[in-house]
């Protein structure tokens, strides 16, 4: 039953080889925390590496001791047990050993925590507000508001003010920063500096009701100049809405300088990749389906209390699709 | 067992008791079996819910179940496994085994014991009534506010979309189950403190008894927090108070959503230890038996249970690192959380040292105990990682957490409970569970469990949040989700084999004598299954393993029919009143959910409850005479 040392080593090598593709695959996933793209996400990742190596060491030592013990002292090998009730010295040793390890891990934890919770001077402030089930983003310094995609200048310290309009949500962009909850009646904060321009996926991480799974968003980091151009374009008044948009205006606005009321601000809807916070890809066909019957696409959403099949005629839907897809801000 | 010429009254065993006995029994052994059978059924139901969850997540963008049904499933899965499976499985085992282990004839309060069981059964049925009415709770087993503070679906009144009566069933059901647990906790504490056999000092108590004692104290101090919280939540839902909610965004109306989280987790974290400490105790009994070697570091294992119990009340806010408590509070709770890893580690080292230089028999019970240690190590390690606030900000509310607590509660608690079944089934039924089926159960569970839950660590790291009913195929989560779904069906196959094993072994299992495993603790001294009075004479205990150390001398084979008769007369009479009171209390709750004219149902429940209480008290009021007689008898004996 016991294999030779060489066989054991061979088995270990095979196991590690099998693990390699798994490890190699990590990092390409859009929400992997192993692929940090901001200063603070990297700090957390570096802390994580310390934890992984410690975990691996403890795992190998303790599981190894367990496996060795049950094989070595099985009945056929060791018919007569050795009677012993305990040993105080050993007990003290294996109380102190884990205590030292967790003390070390605690100190590393405090040090990382100090770094990521020390807020920078002069950050660029974005306010992220959670709604059932979409994200609103306000730019207090610019006087504009958007939803779904959070545009930020790359390479600048970003401070996110977190609020909620209804229940508890959690703002999470794995590649940029750990999550922090948004609570009704309170404001939370987090900060990061996305060094590279790029698109980073985010998702609500606290269960917030029926469509918690479809409360996704993106953070779009652009070089400062491009970001400034985007902000200036957002401030432009939107093209004149068609007649059929009257119903929309009860809850939405097409003007980024006006705050969202009930539903998302639609000023740059045409530039967004998703409809209804990740429910559908943003194509004219999908948008038509959504406007026809939002309840079928994302059951429980607020819009379906107003827009039911038949409320909008096919012609109106076509008119709205054309208009909404025109609302691009690049 | 030696044959005796005396005809003894046949003990009511699971196979011989009639339905009347089942409804009225106050025998801790039969109540223990009622707990075990009921909670195994709930365990299977909770498992079916898990299978539906896994089937839905087996592929991206799956539409097998709707969003709302998915939310109902994970809410009921969590609630069922915690309150209707693991907790009552532990209670059932302790109910059966603890009085035997300490040489008592029954629990201290046998009627209260029956009452606790009936409340558990009715509380569980009450919770599942919602399922049959199509309004199962869908707000999570943690019922966060303000998501769950509003009962009405109308969005204009409160935005709590999709949350109907279900969470009322959840809240009131948990109140019923809370009374049941509280009754059990008090009963265990009094039984263990007051009813140990002569010579069984605290220092000689089996470690399972230690674990049950600490667990009962945890229940005593943790349950009030959730009871208060649920009553406040029900006020928010029913009476329009604002303890936790803040609808209308009126600053004057702000309740505090975080107050709910603090109250819930002040219960919720000790609850983890309430579920895992008894299996720690089980393991500490099983390892010595099948290693034929006393436990290593008895005092350290017992005291580490106490240490874990105390520390368990100081770590609750590590469930809330992401709510914005601030770095100082987070660091403080991180410290206590990591500290709790130390006594847990001490236990694991002592268990391995118990096997060390022993003579290991790989029975199914022992295999499950070893797997318990192996899996619990993984759950412990991931727990320390989650205890670090910066890293927790990435991992919390992802599948990494789901992996972590399944390694603790399935890989830990449930595997320990499986081990307990194989170990004590012969004591309870007089028959041994099939080892062949047991080995199949073991290997399939070992593989299925790791296939299901090991990849969840990775999915969490790849950014998959918990409690999402759907995910996109571009996220890179497809393969591992499919693997997990396959693994979960393997677990189900294992459970099926286990259930089949229970059924066939009950009828055709190999006969067991009093001590089939050569165990050392006192329960192995009496017959399998034990007679209603457990022990004829109180054995005098001189060590931690009386059966090993005194051999057959502690065997209490009765040979005098008069003695047997006296022992039987000494037992409390069966009674129906605990069942009536429990039923009345449960019926009251149904009226509270629907209110209006339904309050008549509450009134009916109240009347039934009062009738139950009246009958119960009348029965007790006859008792003092009996007890006087007993005292006289005792005096005679001592003179």
Q: What is the pLDDT of residues A114-163, one digit of tens each?
A: 999 999 999 999 999 999 999 999 999 999 999 999 999 999 999 999 99
Q: Do B345 and A94 count as a contact with CB atoms less than 8 A apart? A: yes
pLDDT computed for residue B313 by the predictor: 95
Which strands, in side-by-side order, build the sheet including A188-193? Answer: A144-147, A134-139, A124-131, A157-164, A188-193
CA distance B536 to B197: 12
pLDDT computed for residue B550 by the predictor: 78
Calculate the alpha carbon distances from B119 to A330, B125, B176, B266, B532 in Å.
Answer: 63, 10, 6, 24, 24
CA distance B420 to A102: 32
Q: Do B463 and A32 count as a contact with CB atoms less than 8 A apart? A: yes
pLDDT mean over B149-172: 62
Chain A contact probe: residue of B360, B375, B473, B474 with most A CBs at under 10 A:
B360
Inter-chain contacts counted by CB atoms under 8 A, chains A and B = 293
pLDDT mean over A288-295: 96
Q: How far is CA B97 from the centre of its chain?
A: 14
Question: Quick check: helix, strand or coil at residue B352?
Answer: helix
The answer for residues whose C-beta is within 8 angstroms of residue B259's C-beta and 6 or more apart is B145, B243, B244
Q: What is the 3-state secondary structure (H, E, C) of A214-259?
A: HCEEEEEEECHHHHHHHHHHHHCCCCCCCHHHHCHHHCCCCCCCCC
Chain B contact probe: residue of A57, A58, A59, A86 with most B CBs at under 10 A:
A86
What is the sign of the dihedral through the CA atoms of B513, B516, B518 and B521?
A: negative
* Closest CA of chain B from A98, distance in Å: 6
Catalytic residue among B169, B170, B260, B273: B273
Q: Do A205 and B396 count as a contact with CB atoms less than 8 A apart? A: yes
pLDDT computed for residue A260 by the predictor: 74
Q: Is residue A305 packed enough to be buried (19+ CB in 10 Å), middle (13-18) or exposed (0-12)?
A: middle
Residue B12 has pLDDT above 60, yes or no: no
Of A43, A70, A109, the CB nearest to B355: A70
Partners of A91 on chain B (C-beta within 8 Å) are 297, 300, 346, 350
Calculate the alpha carbon distances from B14 to A275, B115, B486 in Å.
Answer: 59, 19, 36
Q: What letter does residue B597 receive in the DSSP assignment? A: G
Partners of A117 on chain B (C-beta within 8 Å) are 327
Task: For A71-123, write each residue's pLDDT tens digit.
Answer: 999 999 999 998 888 899 999 999 999 999 999 999 999 999 999 999 999 99
Task: For A261-286, write each residue's pLDDT tens digit.
Answer: 789 999 999 999 999 999 999 999 99
CB atoms within 10 A of CB B84: 27
Residue A15's pLDDT band (boundaries 50, 70, 90)? low
pLDDT computed for residue B551 by the predictor: 67
pLDDT mean over A224-235: 97
Q: What is the CA radius of gyration of chain B?
A: 25
DSSP B453-485: HHHHHHHHHTT-BTT-S---GGGS-HHHHHHHH
* Closest CA of chain B from A7, distance in Å: 22
Task: For B562-614, write each residue's pLDDT tens digit.
Answer: 777 777 777 888 899 999 999 999 999 999 888 888 899 999 999 999 999 99
pLDDT computed for residue B573 by the predictor: 85
* Closest CA of chain B from A208, distance in Å: 7
Q: Do B327 and A106 count as a contact with CB atoms less than 8 A apart? A: no
State the number of CA atoms in the 13 A half-sphere of B214 facing the CB: 32
Residue B157 has pLDDT above 90, yes or no: no
pLDDT computed for residue B473 by the predictor: 93
Q: Do A209 and B147 count as a contact with CB atoms less than 8 A apart? A: yes
Catalytic residue among B28, B319, B441, B457: B319
pLDDT computed for residue A186 by the predictor: 87
Of A83, A110, A302, the CB nearest to B294: A83
Record the tokens describing residue B258, joined without a space: 């975080």
Q: Which helix (H) or strand (E) holds A172?
A: strand A169-173
Q: Over chain B, what is the mean pLDDT?
A: 90
pLDDT computed for residue B5 by the predictor: 39
* Closest CA of chain A from B378, distance in Å: 7
Residue B628 has pLDDT above 80, yes or no: no
pLDDT computed for residue B554 by the predictor: 54
Question: Would residue B160 show up in a list of annotated catalytic residues for this protein?
Answer: no
CB atoms within 10 A of CB A20: 9
Calculate the alpha carbon distances from A35 to A23, A190, B461 in Å.
Answer: 12, 19, 10
* Closest CA of chain A from B295, distance in Å: 6
Q: What letter does residue B139 receive in the DSSP assignment? A: S
The answer for residues whose C-beta is within 8 angstroms of residue B454's C-beta and 6 or more apart is B403
Residue B239 has pLDDT above 80, yes or no: no
Question: Would residue B595 show up in a list of annotated catalytic residues for this protein?
Answer: no
Residue A1 has pLDDT above 50, yes or no: no
pLDDT mean over A28-52: 95
In 3D space, the residue among B122, B127, B155 whose CA is nearest the CA of residue B143 turns out to be B127
Model-level ipTM above the cut of 0.90? yes
CA distance B540 to B103: 9
CA distance B86 to A172: 33
Record the tokens describing residue B440, joined without a space: 């199949």
Of B146, B299, B389, the CB nearest to A109: B389
The single residue listed with the structure tokens 């393993």 is B545
CA distance B455 to B34: 36
CA distance A150 to A318: 28
pLDDT computed for residue B154 by the predictor: 38
Question: Would residue B28 show up in a list of annotated catalytic residues for this protein?
Answer: no
CA distance B439 to B355: 20
Q: Do B390 and A113 count as a contact with CB atoms less than 8 A apart? A: yes
**Least confident residue range of B15-29, B83-97, B307-321, B439-453:** B15-29
CA distance B44 to B46: 5
Beta strand pairing call for A177-182 and A216-222: unpaired
Bond into B523 cis (ω within 30): no
**Least confident residue range of A12-21, A203-212, B157-166, B339-348:** B157-166
Q: Do A166 and B66 count as a contact with CB atoms less than 8 A apart? A: no
pLDDT mean over B372-389: 96
The single residue listed with the structure tokens 């005792």 is B634
What is the sign of the dihedral through the CA atoms of B214, B216, B220 and B225?
A: positive
Pairwise pLDDT comparison (A86 vs B216), residue with the higher score: B216
Contact (Cβ atoms closer than 8 angstroms) between residue A247 and residue A306: yes
Q: Which helix (H) or strand (E) holds A59?
A: helix A39-72
CA distance B510 to B506: 9
CA distance B199 to B249: 64
Question: Quick check: helix, strand or coil at residue A136?
Answer: strand
Check CB contact of B357 with chain A, cutoff 8 Å.
yes
CB atoms within 10 A of CB A48: 22
Question: Would residue B632 show up in a list of annotated catalytic residues for this protein?
Answer: no
Residue B298 has pLDDT above 50, yes or no: yes
Q: Is residue B29 packed enough to be buried (19+ CB in 10 Å), middle (13-18) or exposed (0-12)?
A: buried
Partners of A108 on chain B (C-beta within 8 Å) are 388
Task: For B528-546, write each residue's pLDDT tens digit.
Answer: 899 888 888 777 888 999 9
Counted residue by residue, chain A has a size of 330
In 3D space, the residue among B262, B280, B310, B84 whose CA is nearest the CA of residue B180 turns out to be B84
Partners of B362 on chain A (C-beta within 8 Å) are 70, 74-75
Counted residue by residue, chain B has a size of 639
In sequence order, the β-bridge partners of residue B360 are A74
Of B334, B335, B390, the CB nearest to A178: B390
Record the tokens describing residue A271, joined without a space: 């530039």
Question: Would residue B474 show up in a list of annotated catalytic residues for this protein?
Answer: no
In 3D space, the residue among B358, B68, B129, B160 whose CA is nearest the CA of residue A184 turns out to be B160
Question: Would residue B180 show up in a list of annotated catalytic residues for this protein?
Answer: yes
pLDDT computed for residue B631 by the predictor: 52
The answer for residues whose C-beta is within 8 angstroms of residue B326's C-beta and 6 or more apart is none
Contact (Cβ atoms closer than 8 angstroms) between residue B219 and residue B189: no
Q: Do A55 and B370 count as a contact with CB atoms less than 8 A apart? A: no
Contact (Cβ atoms closer than 8 angstroms) between residue B511 and residue B528: no
pLDDT computed for residue B249 by the predictor: 52
Of B300, B330, B462, the CB nearest to A91: B300
pLDDT computed for residue A9 by the predictor: 64
Q: Which helix (H) or strand (E) holds B218?
A: helix B207-234
pLDDT mean over A281-307: 94
Could you tell me the maximum CA-CA distance found in chain B, to the nearest angstrom? 84
């Amino acid at each position: 039953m016991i294999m030779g040392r060489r066989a054991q080593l061979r088995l270990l090598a095979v196991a590690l080889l099998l693990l390699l593709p798994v490890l190699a695959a990590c990092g390409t996933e859009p929400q992997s925390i192993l692929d940090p793209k901001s200063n603070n996400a990297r700090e957390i990742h570096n802390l994580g590496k310390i934890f992984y190596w410690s975990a691996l060491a403890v795992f190998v030592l303790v599981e190894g001791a367990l496996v060795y013990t049950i094989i070595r002292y099985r009945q056929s090998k060791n018919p007569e047990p050795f009677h012993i009730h305990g040993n105080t010295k050993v007990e003290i040793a294996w109380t102190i050993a884990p205590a030292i390890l967790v003390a070390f891990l605690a100190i590393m934890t405090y040090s990382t925590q100090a770094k990521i919770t020390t807020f920078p001077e002069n950050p660029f402030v974005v306010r992220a507000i959670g709604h059932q089930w979409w994200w609103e983003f306000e730019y207090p310094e610019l006087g504009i508001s958007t939803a779904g995609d959070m545009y930020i200048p790359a390479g600048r310290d970003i401070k996110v003010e977190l609020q909620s309009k209804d229940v508890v949500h959690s703002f999470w962009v794995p590649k940029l920063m750990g999550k922090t909850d948004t609570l009704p009646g309170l404001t939370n904060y987090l900060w990061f500096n996305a060094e590279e321009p790029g698109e980073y996926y985010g998702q609500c991480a606290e269960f917030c009701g029926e469509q918690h799974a479809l409360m996704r968003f993106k953070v779009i980091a652009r070089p400062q100049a491009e970001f400034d151009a985007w902000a200036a374009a957002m401030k432009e008044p939107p093209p004149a809405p068609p007649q059929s948009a009257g119903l929309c205006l009860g809850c939405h606005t097409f003007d980024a300088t006006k705050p969202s009321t009930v539903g998302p601000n639609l000023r740059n809807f045409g530039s967004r990749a998703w409809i209804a916070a990740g429910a559908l890809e943003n194509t004219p066909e999908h948008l038509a389906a959504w406007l026809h019957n939002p309840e079928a696409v994302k059951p429980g959403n607020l819009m379906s209390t107003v827009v039911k099949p038949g409320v909008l005629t096919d012609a109106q839907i076509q008119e709205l699709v054309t208009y909404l897809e025109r609302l691009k801000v690049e | 067992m030696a044959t005796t010429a005396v005809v003894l009254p046949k003990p009511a065993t699971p196979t011989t008791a009639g339905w009347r006995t089942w409804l009225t029994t106050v025998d801790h052994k039969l109540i223990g079996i009622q707990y075990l059978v009921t909670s195994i059924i709930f365990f299977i139901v909770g498992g079916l819910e898990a299978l539906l969850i896994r089937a839905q997540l087996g592929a991206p963008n799956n539409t097998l179940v709707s969003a709302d049904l998915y939310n109902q499933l994970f809410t009921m899965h969590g609630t069922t496994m915690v309150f209707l499976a693991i907790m009552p499985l532990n209670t059932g085992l302790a109910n059966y085994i603890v009085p035997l282990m300490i040489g008592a004839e029954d629990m201290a309060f046998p009627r209260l014991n029956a009452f606790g069981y009936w409340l558990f059964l009715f509380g569980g049925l009450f919770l599942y009534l919602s399922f049959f009415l199509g309004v199962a709770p869908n707000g999570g087993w943690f019922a966060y506010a303000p998501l769950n503070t509003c009962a009405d679906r109308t969005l204009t009144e409160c935005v709590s979309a999709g949350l109907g009566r279900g969470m009322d069933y959840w809240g009131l059901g948990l109140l019923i189950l809370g009374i049941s647990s509280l009754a059990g906790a008090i009963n265990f504490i009094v039984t263990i403190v007051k009813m140990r056999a002569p010579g069984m000092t605290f220092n000689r108590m089996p470690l399972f008894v230690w674990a049950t004692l600490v667990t009962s104290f945890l229940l005593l101090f943790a349950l009030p927090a959730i009871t208060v919280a649920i009553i406040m939540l029900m006020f928010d839902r029913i009476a329009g108070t604002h303890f936790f909610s803040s609808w209308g965004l009126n600053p004057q109306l702000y309740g505090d959503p975080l107050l709910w989280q603090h109250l819930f987790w002040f219960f919720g974290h000790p609850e983890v230890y309430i579920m895992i400490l008894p299996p720690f105790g089980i393991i500490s009994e099983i390892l010595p038996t099948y290693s034929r070697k006393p436990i290593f570091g008895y005092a350290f294992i017992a005291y580490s249970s106490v240490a874990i119990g105390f520390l368990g009340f100081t770590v609750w806010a590590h469930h809330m690192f992401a709510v914005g408590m601030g770095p100082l509070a987070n660091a403080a709770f991180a410290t206590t959380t990591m500290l709790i890893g130390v006594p847990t580690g001490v236990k694991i080292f002592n268990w391995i040292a118990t096997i060390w230089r022993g003579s290991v028999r790989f029975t199914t019970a022992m295999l499950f105990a070893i797997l318990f240690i192996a899996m619990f190590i993984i759950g412990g390690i991931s727990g320390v990682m989650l205890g670090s606030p910066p890293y927790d900000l990435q991992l919390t509310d992802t599948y990494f957490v789901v992996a972590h607590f399944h390694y603790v509660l399935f890989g830990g608690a449930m595997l320990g409970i499986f081990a307990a079944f194989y170990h004590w089934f012969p004591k309870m039924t007089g028959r041994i569970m099939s080892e062949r089926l047991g080995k199949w159960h073991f290997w399939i569970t070992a593989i299925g469990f790791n296939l299901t839950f090991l990849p969840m660590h990775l999915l969490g790291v790849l950014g998959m949040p918990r409690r999402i009913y759907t995910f996109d195929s571009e996220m890179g989560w497809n393969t591992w989700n499919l693997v997990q779904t396959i693994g979960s069906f393997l677990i189900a196959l294992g459970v099926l084999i286990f259930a089949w094993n229970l059924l066939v072994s009950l009828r055709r299992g190999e006969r067991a004598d009093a001590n089939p495993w050569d165990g050392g603790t006192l329960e192995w001294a009496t017959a399998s299954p034990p007679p209603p009075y457990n022990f004829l004479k109180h054995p005098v205990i001189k060590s931690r393993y009386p059966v090993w150390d005194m051999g057959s001398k502690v065997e209490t084979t009765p040979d005098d029919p008069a003695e047997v008769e006296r022992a039987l007369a000494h037992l409390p009479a069966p009674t129906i009143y605990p069942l009536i009171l429990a039923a009345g209390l449960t019926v009251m709750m149904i009226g509270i959910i629907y209110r209006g004219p339904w309050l008549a149902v509450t009134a009916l429940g109240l009347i039934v409850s009062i009738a139950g209480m009246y009958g119960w008290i009348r029965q007790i009021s006859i008792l003092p005479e009996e007890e006087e007689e007993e005292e006289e008898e005792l005096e005679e004996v001592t003179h």
